[in-house]
């Protein structure tokens, strides 16, 4: 059971801390107030794999198929909507707090020193098709 959650720099949340969650919680709010983003944060932290970002795009109705090239801008465009105010210089942090073994931490950020590089001798591919399952 999740006892608390801390979210930073994720979608509409600059910082959200809810330390006292119960067995049953009800999310109530106006349209576009963060209810879906809150559930996505929990979903993303529980799943913990990069393919989940593609699944979230699909669940939001942003399409099953998308084109991705080897250019950094193309790759980063997949992740940009997850960052608060689309600021990819910040670190997304989602902490699921539990008194048992269910605690989880997720941090999403770019390694500024690293850059996507094609292996030596390989030809660049104009684009690849990625389909979430």
Q: Which residue has the higher pLDDT, 46 or 72?
A: 46
Rounded to whole angstroms, how far apart are CA atoms 102 and 97?
Answer: 7
Percent of the chain clearing pLDDT 90 (strictly above): 50
| Range scoring the smallest mean pLDDT among 1-15, 20-34, 56-70 | 56-70
**Mean of pLDDT over the chain:** 82
What pTM did the predictor assign? 0.78
pLDDT of residue 64: 64
Q: Residues near 28 by Cβ (< 8 Å), separated by ≥ 6? A: 35
Rounded to whole angstroms, how far apart are CA atoms 61 and 9?
Answer: 22
Q: Which residue has the higher pLDDT, 72 or 23?
A: 23
């Amino acid at each position: 059971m999740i006892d608390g959650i801390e979210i930073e720099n994720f979608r509409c949340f600059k910082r959200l801390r809810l330390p006292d969650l119960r067995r049953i919680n009800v999310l109530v709010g106006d349209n576009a107030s963060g209810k879906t983003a809150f559930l996505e944060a929990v979903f993303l932290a529980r799943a913990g794999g990069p393919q989940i970002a593609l699944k979230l795009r699909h669940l939001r109705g942003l399409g099953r198929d998308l084109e991705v090239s080897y250019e950094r801008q193309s790759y980063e465009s997949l992740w940009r909507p997850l960052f608060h105010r689309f600021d990819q210089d910040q670190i997304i942090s989602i902490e699921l707090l539990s008194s048992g073994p269910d605690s989880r931490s997720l941090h999403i950020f770019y390694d500024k020193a690293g850059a996507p590089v094609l292996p030596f001798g390989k030809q660049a591919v104009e684009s690849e098709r990625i389909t979430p399952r």
